[in-house]
Amino acid sequence: MAASEAVTDALRELHARYAGVRGGRRADYIPQLARSDPDAFGIALVSMDGHCYSAGAADAAFTLQSVSKPFVYALALSTLGLDEVSRWVGAEPSGEAFNAISLEPRTGRPANAMVNAGAIVTTALVPDRAAVPAFTAVLSCLSRFAGRRLDVDEDVYRSEASTGDRNRALAYLLRSTGTLPVDPVAAVDTYFRQCAVRATAVDLAVMAATLAHGGVNPVTGETVVSTEVAAQVLSVMATCGMYDASGEWLLRVGLPAKSGVSGGLIAAGPARFGLATYSTPLDAAGTSVRGSAAIGALSERLGLHLM
């Protein structure tokens, strides 16, 4: 990792350079997300020694949305192992939008755990027990990745729950093909709550850094998942994390990453850093316009591309 001053300078400079960019649109299919501040823009980077660098609105809270998916995939992998999880959800890029109907022709599974269909199945794999309901396990896992107790934005949860018929339709379709192990209504409800968990860009950078650090949170020192699981999750982020823009992203930026429609974006440099941005206007693939520009430029400037 480059020297601290170089990182601080780079974050400040990129923030200044991209804060004025006006392209993109806030997601409005979850009505509450359209109420977000389109000008808020934060960047955070966490190193393997737990040092946090940030610029702009890095402490502004927003909901994780799809940025939650790799971490719940990590929970499912930790609980059930790769072979069992892979019986239910694949690991191939879908080449399609995040909300596409994703059913592999041969196996009937969703293509991967990063698209909505695969994420709903992944969440449904988390054991739902009276003592520890599935969402309690999900929230606890996300909180351990972040190194602090996260909570749910109830307004965003209700907003998605009252409009999320496409995800409900995906869940029923998956159930009809034998690919969803639990009741569709329950699966989608837990998934909506997971998407509405609230965090900041700093939290997201710690979460990404935990994956980059082999599953050990570099701030708290807690082992959240095994090195093996962290590597599995980063692999799927590299190939599928940016949906139908994943190939182009890896080619140009060279980092495993995950986007979310609330404007969050994470990227991880294995054994080097976790990085996150927050800015709500999105491009056509559902990725933050300022976030992808800033992470792309940072990768180039600090030589972060995997090669």
Residue 25 CB, nearest approach to ligand DON (Å)? 13
Among positions 265-304, residues that touch ligand DON (CB under 6 A) are 286
Residue 46 CB, nearest approach to ligand DON (Å)? 22
Give the active site residue among 191, 246, 278, 292: 191
Instruction: Name the E strands within the chain.
Output: 42-47, 52-56, 62-63, 151-152, 197-199, 257-259, 264-269, 273-278
Give the active site residue among 7, 54, 67, 69: 69
What DSSP character marks residue 221?
-
Whether 18 is catalytic:
no
Would you say 65 or 78 has its CB closer to ligand DON?
Answer: 65
Mask of contacts with ligand DON, 252-271, x by CB under 6 A? -------xxx----------
Nearest in space to 63 (alpha carbons), one of 89, 39, 43, 34: 34
Counting contacts by CB under 6 A, is residue 98 touching ligand DON?
Answer: yes
167: buried, middle or exposed (CB in 10 Å: 19+, 13-18, 0-12)?
buried
Would you say 66 or 102 has its CB closer to ligand DON?
Answer: 66
CA gap 194, 70 in Å, rounded:
12
Q: Check whether 116 is labelled as a binding-site residue.
A: yes
Residue 33 CB, nearest approach to ligand DON (Å)? 9
Give the active site residue among 85, 115, 188, 261: 261
Among positions 133-162, residues that touch ligand DON (CB under 6 A) are 160
Among 55, 180, 195, 216, binds ligand DON (CB under 6 A): 195
- Residue 167's SS3 state is helix
Would you say 18 or 98 has its CB closer to ligand DON?
Answer: 98
- Other beta carbons less than 10 A from residue 54's beta carbon: 21
- Please name the residues in contact with 88: beta carbons below 8 A apart, sequence gap of 6 or more: 109, 121, 122, 125, 179, 181
Counting contacts by CB under 6 A, is residue 94 touching ligand DON?
Answer: no
Whether 243 is catalytic:
yes
Give the Å distances, CA to CA, from 73 to 2, 114, 209, 297: 31, 9, 16, 28
Among 78, 116, 200, 232, binds ligand DON (CB under 6 A): 116
Nearest in space to 23 (alpha carbons), one of 281, 293, 298, 294: 281
Whether 66 is catalytic:
yes
CA atoms within 13 A of residue 101's CA, in its CB half-sphere: 10
Residue 61 CB, nearest approach to ligand DON (Å)? 16
Among 99, 107, 163, 226, binds ligand DON (CB under 6 A): 99
**Angle ∠(230,191,182) on CA atoms, nearest 5:** 100
Counting contacts by CB under 6 A, is residue 210 touching ligand DON?
Answer: no
- Other beta carbons less than 10 A from residue 84's beta carbon: 12
Residue 63 CB, nearest approach to ligand DON (Å)? 8
**Whether the Cβ atoms of residue 268 and residue 212 lie closer than 8 Å to each other:** yes
Q: Check whether 66 is labelled as a binding-site residue.
A: yes
Annotated binding site for substrate: 66, 116, 160, 167, 191, 243, 261
> Footprint of ligand DON on this chain (CB under 6 A)?
65-66, 98-99, 116, 160, 167, 195, 259-261, 286
**Active site (catalytic) residues:** 66, 69, 191, 243, 261
